[in-house]
Amino acid sequence: MRDVTAVSSASSAPAGTAVEEKEAPVQDDAAGYYTLGDPISDAKAPRGPIDQRWTQRIFDARLVNPANRRKLSIIVVGTGLAGASAAATLGEAGYRVQAFFYQDSPRRAHSIAAQGGINAAKNYKGDGDSIHRLFYDTVKGGDYRSRESNVYRLAEVSANIIDQCVAQGVPFAREYGGLLDNRSFGGVQVSRTFYARGQTGQQLLIGAYQAMERQVAAGTVTPYARHEMLELIVVDGKARGIVTRDMVSGAIETHLADAVVLASGGYGNVFFLSTNAMGSNVTASWRAHRKGAFFANPCYTQIHPTCIPVSGEHQSKLTLMSESLRNDGRIWVPKRAEDCDKDPRDIPEEDRDYYLERIYPSFGNLVPRDIASRQAKNMCDEGRGVGPMVGDKRRGVYLDFAEAIQRLGRSAVEAKYGNLFDMYSRITGEDPYQVPMRIYPAVHYTMGGLWVDYDLQSTIPGLFVIGEANFSDHGANRLGASALMQGLADGYFVLPNTIRDYLADGPFPAVAPDAPEVVEARADVEDRVQRLLSINGSRTVDSFHRELGHIMWEYCGMERTAEGLRTAIERIRALREEFWRDVRVLGTGDSLNQSLEKAGRVADFLELGELMCIDALHRRESCGGHFRAESQTPDGEALRDDANFAYVGAWEWGGDPSAPVLHKEDLVYEFVEMKQRSYK
């Protein structure tokens, strides 16, 4: 494992930090659940003016000459936006790339679902946007829990992404005059979101996929469809390969390379119900974590405010209604609980509470997601939710387009949001042009992920992590339209410039297929598959997953308490024990077997879930997507504790899911002043 703890956080902190002196140690709610390791430092970001750090790093990172690139091989796991853009760019540069994904085509990656748009600091609207403003909005939106250097780089690179995608032919929406159009997303007061109707992810993915396919045709990228990574191979402390299962034939294979890049997406499906694709999972990251990669801020989960509400126990998936709808849709609930079961069209204006516009007049319906979600929950908890009763409460609020249709005309609304309206109407049977949509928050995105340094390298040398799979640049809350930006920034621009510094040490000694580390990793996968198949218990994999999801949502969802989190940890431990005793995995290992695939993923979720709860328990503050009931302002807003928690919590595998080791990376703010966030 790389010694990232060598430079103490104190010595790495440049002057000008806004973090206060530490006061008396805060009460540690998680004492006994973890041990404390050495602090860590990300020493890769150059010092100096923030707008020159990335240029400096590009220059400092060593080069690999084109002839030598052909001798170096890179495994990329995942071909969503992050992985496909990385594979295409690394292939184009001349490296030998092997790209793995579990779908039948890269075009089916979860990235295809992204609807609303992608941010970039182009200032096309001339409304005061700039790289610095995008940087500032993102640091503030993330509730001051992200790294300044990374976020600045993201803002800087954002404009290049749009140019790259336009050159590829991505059909971004255009204004009447032919210029690229923009719309607004939450947490900002400018319009910087580029979009392709409600299908931005799909169009961007087609661009990245085509760029990758060009390299497939050129022979630099070899795709491995329907291959699931089930283990990382580490030789002499370096990432040198992966073990996969061919999901069609069941064959367990080893693949070796000089470096490994994980672009395997987020882990929101630990909650069972989420807006993520059904196959999204944590397995690739978790296997790497167990081999020594730190997992950072696992408890930071984004709960998106505009999803179609849960309709019953039968459901296995939730559907997002894009945040872009909040540009024109107005969110409200009835002022009086007794009006909640009325037809909304019969409730007059004066009896409606447009609560976001009332509480946050500056940002109104475009407050960040964490705030909009929490307020929707508050309204429902007050008994003013709408729609059918779920348990003892109505869990829904209105998203109303009546005013927009009157102002813009139905055809203009249809042109902007038509496919989203159609989707809503197909799922709910209601016509949103006539009746307000009903929405409720749902799990959507995970800000946590594998810890990476400024070079996007994990704590295992040679293992790089990009896209939603890393703990990324979003702090405790991601602003809308920033995930696509980060995934493509990582894949097209950042990783290709940083991985070469590592590869410049090559050529690396060849790893023999029968090296002990390779044989052992492969045997571990085979044993695990056999173990899952042989339990032959009485409960389905889905029933375990659903129960885990209930626990996570109840205790580690929109609001968390110390008592609830301790309960969750105990229940997850018991559930995990029961899983390995009583799960029933159907079929055999030598063919297509979805029950087996799911079982492996749920087994990893059962370990991750505990770490998420321990992380949430130890962080006795509220920040972004992590709301601790014990830490709130008198008016119920999230209350951060910068004196004690202005750090990244990076967890090391301690040999057992219940024995994690915490390493803290202090966050230093030199260019943005840390303040209590206000969108009022």
Ligand X SMILES: Cc1cc2nc3c(=O)[nH]c(=O)nc-3n(C[C@H](O)[C@H](O)[C@H](O)COP(=O)(O)OP(=O)(O)OC[C@H]3O[C@@H](n4cnc5c(N)ncnc54)[C@H](O)[C@@H]3O)c2cc1C
| Contact (Cβ atoms closer than 8 angstroms) between residue 159 and residue 108 | no
Kindly identify the residues of this chain, within the stretch 332-391, that bind ligand X according to CB under 6 A.
none
Q: Could you write out the three-class secondary structure of 234-296?
A: EECCEEEEEEEEECCCCCEEEEECCEEEECCCCCHHHHCCCCCCCCCCCHHHHHHHHCCCCEE
Residue from the set 50, 74, 80, 645 that interacts with ligand X by CB under 6 A: 80
* Closest to ligand X by CB, 113 or 504: 113
Token code pair at residue 471: 């703990």
Q: Which residues are catalytic?
A: 369
* Closest to ligand X by CB, 39 or 305: 305
The minimum distance between CB 655 and ligand X, in angstroms, equals 22
- Using CB under 6 A as the binding criterion, the count of chain residues that bind ligand X stands at 45
Nearest residue to 307 (alpha-carbon basis) of 343, 276, 265: 276
* Closest to ligand X by CB, 39 or 475: 475
Q: Check binding of 284 to ligand X (CB under 6 A).
A: yes
The minimum distance between CB 368 and ligand X, in angstroms, equals 14
10 Å CB burial of residue 346 (0-12, 13-18, 19+) is exposed
Q: Check binding of 608 to ligand X (CB under 6 A).
A: no
Task: List Cα–Cα distances, 648 to 41, 296, 467, 663, 667, in angstroms.
Answer: 10, 7, 18, 8, 7
Q: Check binding of 565 to ligand X (CB under 6 A).
A: no
Q: Check binding of 101 to ligand X (CB under 6 A).
A: yes
Distance CA(209)–CA(78), nearest Å, equals: 12
* Closest to ligand X by CB, 443 or 614: 443
The minimum distance between CB 269 and ligand X, in angstroms, equals 10
* Residues paired with residue 438 on neighbouring β-strands, in sequence order: 398
Distance CA(106)–CA(176), nearest Å, equals: 33
Nearest residue to 151 (alpha-carbon basis) of 135, 162, 137: 135
The minimum distance between CB 486 and ligand X, in angstroms, equals 8
* Closest to ligand X by CB, 53 or 245: 245
**Span of 277-285, 348-356, 424-432, 499-507 interacting with ligand X by CB under 6 A:** 277-285
**Span of 116-124, 396-404, 493-501, 570-578 interacting with ligand X by CB under 6 A:** 116-124
Distance CA(590)–CA(586), nearest Å, equals: 12
Q: Check binding of 301 to ligand X (CB under 6 A).
A: no
Q: Check binding of 263 to ligand X (CB under 6 A).
A: yes
Task: List Cα–Cα distances, 650 to 109, 254, 275, 283, in angstroms.
Answer: 27, 29, 26, 18
* Closest to ligand X by CB, 109 or 299: 109
Residue from the set 109, 239, 367, 413 that interacts with ligand X by CB under 6 A: 109
Encoded one letter per residue, x for contact with ligand X by CB under 6 A and - for no contact, window 198-227 reads --xx--------------------------
* Closest to ligand X by CB, 260 or 484: 484
* Closest to ligand X by CB, 323 or 453: 323
Distance CA(607)–CA(14), nearest Å, equals: 37
Q: Check binding of 110 to ligand X (CB under 6 A).
A: yes
The minimum distance between CB 675 and ligand X, in angstroms, equals 25
Distance CA(102)–CA(226), nearest Å, equals: 4
Q: Check binding of 320 to ligand X (CB under 6 A).
A: yes
Kindly identify the residues of this chain, within the stretch 428-487, that bind ligand X according to CB under 6 A.
444-445, 467-469, 481-484, 487
Core vs surface per residue 302-321: b (16+ CB within 10 A) or e: bbbbbbbbbeeeeeeebbbb
Encoded amino acid at 137, one letter: D
Residue from the set 2, 41, 75, 83 that interacts with ligand X by CB under 6 A: 83
**Span of 61-69, 76-84, 128-136, 348-356 interacting with ligand X by CB under 6 A:** 76-84
**Span of 110-118, 357-365, 604-612, 623-631 interacting with ligand X by CB under 6 A:** 110-118
**Span of 215-223, 272-280, 403-411, 427-435 interacting with ligand X by CB under 6 A:** 272-280
Task: List Cα–Cα distances, 248 to 122, 245, 594, in angstroms.
Answer: 45, 9, 10
The minimum distance between CB 239 and ligand X, in angstroms, equals 15
The minimum distance between CB 562 and ligand X, in angstroms, equals 30
The minimum distance between CB 290 and ligand X, in angstroms, equals 13
Question: Cα 243 to chain center, whole Å?
Answer: 24
Distance CA(356)–CA(340), nearest Å, equals: 18
* Residues paired with residue 227 on neighbouring β-strands, in sequence order: 246
The minimum distance between CB 100 and ligand X, in angstroms, equals 5
Q: How many residues does the chain have?
A: 680
Token code pair at residue 674: 């840390």
Residue from the set 54, 102, 172, 363 that interacts with ligand X by CB under 6 A: 102
Torsion of CA 56, 58, 59, 64, to 10 degrees: 160
* Residues paired with residue 623 on neighbouring β-strands, in sequence order: 626
10 Å CB burial of residue 64 (0-12, 13-18, 19+) is buried
In the 8-state DSSP scheme, what is residue 460? S
**Span of 59-67, 276-284, 378-386, 580-588 interacting with ligand X by CB under 6 A:** 276-284
**Span of 106-114, 405-413, 495-503, 580-588 interacting with ligand X by CB under 6 A:** 106-114
Neighbouring C-beta atoms of residue 430, cutoff 10 Å:
13
* Closest to ligand X by CB, 75 or 612: 75
Residue from the set 77, 206, 221, 515 that interacts with ligand X by CB under 6 A: 77
The minimum distance between CB 460 and ligand X, in angstroms, equals 16
Task: List Cα–Cα distances, 532 to 55, 138, 587, 673, in angstroms.
Answer: 49, 43, 11, 51
By CB under 6 A, name the binding residues for ligand X: 77-83, 100-103, 109-111, 113-118, 200-201, 228-229, 263-266, 275-276, 280-281, 283-284, 320, 444-445, 467-469, 481-484, 487
